[in-house]
Amino acid sequence: MEKPIYLDYNATTPIALEVITEMLPYFDTNFGNPSSAYAIGRTNKEAIIKARKQVASLINAKPEEIVFTSCATESNNLAIHGFILANKEKGKHIITSAVEHPAVTEVCKYLATFGYEITYLPVDTFGRVNPADVEKAIRPDTALITIMHANNEVGTIQPISEIATIAKKNQIAFHTDAAQSLGKIEVDVQKLNVDLLTIAGHKLYAPKGIGALYIRQGTKIENLIHGASQEKGIRPGTENVPYIVGLGKACELAQQNLSAISNHLSTLRDKLLRGLQEKLGMTVKINADLTNCLPNTLSVAFENVSAHALASFISNDILISTGSACHSGETTISSVLHAMNLDFRTATATVRISTGKHTTDEEIDFAVEVLVNAVKKLSN
């Protein structure tokens, strides 16, 4: 067992070996430009076609509904800003939630500087949006609803298809950021009934620097950058073929193994939690409803233990993240935990532990031992 044990798969994942193998030829032998008419150009064009099919297949979309981008942040920008630019007549109101990633919130804030009004829906103590609140927030000038599929910090899954039904009834487009859910739980754009969906490569064993946006046929999007006609002009610029190939392969692997991966993630997450609860008892507070949560995510607070002190104390053994940030001696809690109404003490005691497909039983046994010893030592 190699240390430190990585238990922060929601931050990023290693690239799967099969993905690297698939990508490698496109760095040297198959280096052509996909727009070139000769053989190595065509090989690259075909590689993109294949990857587009692989991505589309994982989410039950049509290949022509997939646009490759550089990351989830870009996909969110293209979805929200691009939709707003192409649909100015629909009005100047956007509905989102109080627990979105900055890659959504900051786009909304930016649009607010152009006169857009943003409704940030509240969440319950587990970070869940109430669909009834979405319905109440809708106005005649609501142009777009954007609510994430699953939360990166606490793992809470939002009632996307219920919200989509409300959006459809009111003829409002609906975007969801699925950066965290893809590859961990089923993501089916027909069942979710969304118009736009964000995909992130590096959360799903593909490289950093590649993402995609699902755009339902008929949804108008204006490009944010201007250039040639790649990606139907919606996202111009010579395609990042090796990374596109990598994302395609990662999606294929996720589709082949989804239920096994999902089971593996939750079995180990639950084993970790059981171990902690057995040894630490009531001092472990879970910040999510685990029956409605990503299978790999455990957001917990250890009573009377500073999350920063804990994460740093164990960092030679286990890598985890915290629910608060520490700058110049001042601690600020995350906007997600704040929106969930967690008191300051619980929020600053919150850590996020996230398992991955490479996590082993042995690693979890070790993580329980390390965490229990550290919590006992640090609790005041």
Ligand X SMILES: Cc1ncc(COP(=O)(O)O)c(C=O)c1O
Q: Is residue 244 involved in binding ligand X (CB under 6 A)?
A: no
148/265 with CB nearer ligand X? 148
Site for ligand X in 315-344 (CB under 6 A): none
Q: What are phi and psi of 207, to 5 degrees?
A: -70, 165
Distance CA 357, CA 352 (A): 17
Q: Is residue 148 involved in binding ligand X (CB under 6 A)?
A: yes
Let me know if 108 is a catalytic residue.
no
Q: Is residue 235 involved in binding ligand X (CB under 6 A)?
A: no
Only one of the segments 53-61, 69-77, 188-196, 272-280 lies at the binding site for ligand X (rule: CB under 6 A); that segment is 69-77
Site for ligand X in 85-114 (CB under 6 A): 101, 103
Burial class (CB in 10 A: 0-12, 13-18, 19+), 106: middle
Which one is catalytic: 71, 108, 293, 326?
Answer: 326
Give the residue among 186, 320, 365 at the shortest CA–CA distance from 261: 186
73/348 with CB nearer ligand X? 73
Site for ligand X in 149-168 (CB under 6 A): 152
Options 73, 142, 297, 346; binder of ligand X; rule CB under 6 A: 73
Residues binding ligand X: what is the number (CB under 6 A)? Answer: 12
Which residues is 197 bridged to in the sheet?
176, 214
Q: Is residue 293 involved in binding ligand X (CB under 6 A)?
A: no
Distances (CA, A) of 348 to 11, 164, 219, 352: 19, 34, 42, 12
Q: Is residue 199 involved in binding ligand X (CB under 6 A)?
A: no
Only one of the segments 66-74, 83-91, 242-250, 254-262 lies at the binding site for ligand X (rule: CB under 6 A); that segment is 66-74
* 297-302 vs 318-319, strand pairing mode: unpaired
Distance CA 378, CA 380 (A): 6
Only one of the segments 70-78, 230-238, 240-248, 360-368 lies at the binding site for ligand X (rule: CB under 6 A); that segment is 70-78
Give the residue among 201, 234, 237, 211 at the shortest CA–CA distance from 83: 234
Please give the helix or strand (H or E) that residue 321 lies within, else none.
Answer: strand 321-322
**Token digits of residue 198:** 């964000």
Q: Is residue 177 involved in binding ligand X (CB under 6 A)?
A: yes
Q: Is residue 200 involved in binding ligand X (CB under 6 A)?
A: yes
**Shortest distance in whole angstroms from residue 33 CB to ligand X:** 25
Options 23, 55, 72, 189; binder of ligand X; rule CB under 6 A: 72
153/239 with CB nearer ligand X? 153
Q: Is residue 134 involved in binding ligand X (CB under 6 A)?
A: no
Q: Is residue 13 involved in binding ligand X (CB under 6 A)?
A: no
Q: Is residue 69 involved in binding ligand X (CB under 6 A)?
A: no
Options 129, 172, 179, 368; binder of ligand X; rule CB under 6 A: 179
Give the residue among 121, 120, 192 at the shortest CA–CA distance from 162: 192
**Shortest distance in whole angstroms from residue 313 CB to ligand X:** 24
Distance CA 172, CA 147 (A): 13
Q: What are phi and psi of 51, to 5 degrees?
A: -65, -40
Distance CA 180, CA 187 (A): 10
Number of CB atoms found within 10 A of residue 376's CB? 13
Q: Is residue 288 involved in binding ligand X (CB under 6 A)?
A: no
Only one of the segments 58-66, 85-93, 173-181, 292-300 lies at the binding site for ligand X (rule: CB under 6 A); that segment is 173-181
**Token digits of residue 363:** 């690693």
Distance CA 199, CA 66 (A): 10
Give the residue among 298, 335, 343 at the shortest CA–CA distance from 99: 335
**Shortest distance in whole angstroms from residue 150 CB to ligand X:** 7
Between helices 102-112 and 72-86, what is the axis angle to 10°?
A: 30
Give the active site residues: 326
Residues found near ligand X in the complex (CB under 6 A): 71-73, 101, 103, 148, 152, 177, 179-180, 200, 202
